[in-house]
């Protein structure tokens, strides 16, 4: 039932009353995201350019005064009740995100709550359903308890909840996109300084469409590959004597100093990806949206060949899209499953979709799902 309308908020409030026997005090919502470009750069102190989707997570909630958080979800069975004083690992699965968030916020004077969660984000599609869940919970809890925390700081606390209470060493991109995005723009975030700037992104005005394709190969950050990439980047930075790969200024010289070919490939990706973010921002600000397609494609090839995080369904979707006339495309998110974006002229969008579907069918893969709504949307906010 999720959605941004007052009607869907009212429906969630009614479901809360059914579930718990009293009305909620409000309904809050936080979006999922697509990352236009800047992949695996956030934990290297680099640049990212995500935007928020119209899809997201809504939370109906009411305060409690017993330092307990009680959560239910319309997408899962059962109720999870956990003390705010609990320890990481004592709650597992989807409930670890809202419970972890509540526990982190407890240090800031936020108390317990009863929550009912609803999501219209596809699970495992790499569109940041976890960050949306954390951020919707965060703004609900802060509002309920009258605690004001700046949105950028809330994004950092949400990242901490995921790192410490779920055990996923994610960077700051997804929570920032969910908290800080504005409608009609992508969010340029400098992950070192925390500075942000809105970059207008309206492909429709240029006769273009950005397709978001769920490849139906499920994405999981809890697997070891994401943590391994982070460790490889930290090792390379240490060998190169820099705080983070963001600081590599002379790429050929840096590559010459690394004897391990794996580390060379990782550094090559991170350094060139930061350049691609800067180039994308320049093109968007100059009104040259169509030219971004080549950078998306370069990003995809770098993620596939240098960073080695792509997957067959993503590679086929991008290849077929380009063959059918798209301007470019790339995998988004952590990798090993999830979604792909494709930038195409609107008049070619059907041909591109058909080409991807036909390629999947020819391989007997689960059909891809094309998201209907992909317009850059507002960050986390209260619905009612
Ligand atoms: C995942 C992480 F959560 C982000 O922090 C980011 O590192 C991304 O993978 C890769 O760019 O979404």
CATH of the domain at 68: 3.30.230.10
User: Among 65, 105, 79, which Cα is nearest to 16's?
Assistant: 79
For ligand 1, what atom is nearest to the CA of residue 38? 11
E-state strands within the chain: 26-37, 47-63, 68-73, 80-83, 113-119, 185-190, 196-200, 208-214, 328-331, 339-345, 369-370, 381-382
pLDDT for position 16: 98
Residue-wise DSSP of 292-303: HHHHHHHHHHHH
CA distance 2 to 123: 14
Residue 249 and residue 126 in one domain: no
Residue 182 and residue 210 in one domain: no
Whether residue 123 lies inside any domain: the answer is yes
- For ligand 1, atom 3: residue with the closest CA: 170
Whether residue 1 lies inside any domain: the answer is no
Whether residue 183 lies inside any domain: the answer is yes
- pLDDT, tens digit only, all 384 positions of the chain: 666 677 899 999 999 999 999 999 999 999 999 999 999 999 999 999 999 999 999 999 999 999 999 999 999 999 999 999 999 999 999 999 999 999 999 999 999 999 999 999 998 899 999 999 999 999 999 999 999 999 999 999 999 999 999 999 999 999 999 999 999 999 999 999 999 999 999 999 999 999 999 999 987 766 799 999 999 999 999 999 999 999 999 999 999 999 999 999 999 999 999 999 999 999 999 999 999 999 999 999 999 999 999 999 999 999 999 999 999 999 999 999 999 999 999 999 999 999 999 999 999 999 999 999 999 999 999 999
Strand partners, 369: 214
Residue 19 and residue 138 in one domain: yes
**Radius of gyration, alpha carbons of the chain:** 21
Residue 274 and residue 291 in one domain: yes
User: Among 17, 28, 36, 5, which Cα is nearest to 280's?
Assistant: 36
pLDDT for position 7: 80
Residues flanking ligand 1, CB < 6 Å = 39-40, 42-43, 170-171, 173-174, 221, 333-334
Residue 54 and residue 159 in one domain: yes
Cα atoms found within 13 Å of the Cα of residue 347, Cβ hemisphere only: 2
- Does residue 192 sit in helix, strand or coil? coil
Whether residue 86 lies inside any domain: the answer is yes
Residue 39 C-alpha to ligand 1 middle, in angstroms? 7
Residue 361 and residue 249 in one domain: yes
The pair of structure tokens assigned to 170 is 């994610």
Whether residue 142 lies inside any domain: the answer is yes
pLDDT for position 252: 98
The pair of structure tokens assigned to 372 is 């209907």
Domain that holds residue 185: 6-199+376-382
User: Among 256, 279, 278, which Cα is nearest to 267's?
Assistant: 256
- For ligand 1, atom 9: residue with the closest CA: 334
User: Domain with 238 in it: what CATH number?
Assistant: 3.30.70.890
Residue 115 and residue 228 in one domain: no
| Maximum pairwise Cα distance, the chain | 66
Whether residue 239 lies inside any domain: the answer is yes
Whether residue 33 lies inside any domain: the answer is yes
pLDDT for position 175: 98
Residue 88 and residue 216 in one domain: no
The pair of structure tokens assigned to 321 is 């899209």
Q: Report the number of distinct structural domains present in the chain.
A: 2
Residue 178 and residue 212 in one domain: no
Cα atoms found within 13 Å of the Cα of residue 363, Cβ hemisphere only: 14
CA distance 130 to 117: 12
Rounded alpha-carbon distances, angstroms, from residue 185 to 33, 114, 225, 232:
12, 34, 31, 32
The pair of structure tokens assigned to 220 is 């999981």
Residue carrying the six token digits 């988004």: 332
- 174 classed as catalytic: yes
Instruction: List phi, psi (to 5°) of 118.
Output: -140, 135
Residue carrying the six token digits 């391989």: 363
CA distance 110 to 212: 37
Residue 173 C-alpha to ligand 1 middle, in angstroms? 6
Residue 177 and residue 229 in one domain: no
pLDDT for position 222: 60
For ligand 1, what atom is nearest to the CA of residue 130? 3
Residue 189 and residue 234 in one domain: no
Residue 125 and residue 230 in one domain: no
Residue 191 C-alpha to ligand 1 middle, in angstroms? 12
Annotated active-site residue in 42, 120, 174, 214: 174
CA dihedral for 135, 137, 142, 143, sign (positive or negative): positive
User: Among 179, 227, 160, 204, which Cα is nearest to 33's?
Assistant: 179
Residue 322 C-alpha to ligand 1 middle, in angstroms? 25
For ligand 1, what atom is nearest to the CA of residue 226? 9
Rounded alpha-carbon distances, angstroms, from residue 123 to 219, 254, 337:
9, 39, 11
CA distance 108 to 104: 8
Cβ atoms 236, 263 nearer than 8 A: yes
């Amino acid at each position: 039932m999720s959605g941004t309308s007052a009607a869907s908020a009212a429906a969630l409030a009614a479901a809360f009353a059914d579930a718990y026997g009293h009305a909620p005090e409000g309904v809050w919502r936080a979006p999922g995201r697509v990352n236009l470009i800047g992949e695996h750069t956030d934990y290297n102190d680099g640049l990212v350019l995500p935007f928020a989707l119209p899809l997201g997570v809504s939370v109906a909630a009411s305060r409690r005064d017993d330092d307990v958080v009680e959560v239910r979800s319309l997408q899962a069975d059962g109720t999870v009740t956990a003390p705010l004083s609990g320890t990481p690992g004592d709650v597992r699965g989807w409930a670890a995100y809202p419970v972890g968030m509540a526990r982190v916020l407890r240090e800031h004077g936020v108390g317990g709550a009863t929550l009912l969660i609803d999501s219209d984000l596809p699970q495992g599609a790499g569109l940041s359903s976890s960050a949306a869940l954390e951020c919707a919970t965060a703004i609900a809890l802060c509002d309920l308890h009258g605690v004001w925390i700046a949105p950028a700081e809330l994004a950092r606390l949400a990242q901490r909840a995921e790192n410490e209470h779920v055990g996923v060493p994610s960077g700051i991109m997804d929570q920032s996109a969910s908290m800080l995005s504005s409608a009609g723009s992508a969010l340029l975030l400098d992950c070192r300084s925390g500075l942000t700037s809105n970059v207008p992104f309206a492909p429709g005005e240029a006769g273009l469409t950005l397709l978001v394709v769920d490849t139906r190969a499920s994405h999981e950050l809890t697997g070891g590959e994401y943590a391994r990439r982070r460790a490889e980047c930290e090792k390379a930075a240490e060998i190169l004597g820099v705080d983070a790969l963001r600081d590599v200024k002379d790429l050929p010289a840096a590559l010459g100093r690394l004897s391990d070919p794996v580390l060379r490939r990782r550094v090559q990706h991170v350094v060139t990806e930061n350049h691609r973010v800067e180039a994308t921002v320049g093109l968007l600000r100059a009104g040259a949206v169509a030219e971004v397609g080549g950078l998306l494609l370069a990003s995809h090839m770098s993620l596939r060949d240098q960073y080695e995080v792509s997957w067959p369904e993503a590679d086929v979707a991008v290849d077929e899209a380009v063959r059918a006339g798209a301007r470019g495309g790339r995998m988004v998110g952590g990798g090993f499953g999830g979604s792909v974006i494709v930038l195409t002229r609107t008049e070619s969008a059907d041909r591109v979709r058909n080409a991807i579907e036909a390629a999947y069918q020819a391989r007997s893969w689960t059909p891809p799902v094309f998201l209907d709504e992909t317009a850059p949307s507002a960050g986390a906010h209260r619905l009612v």
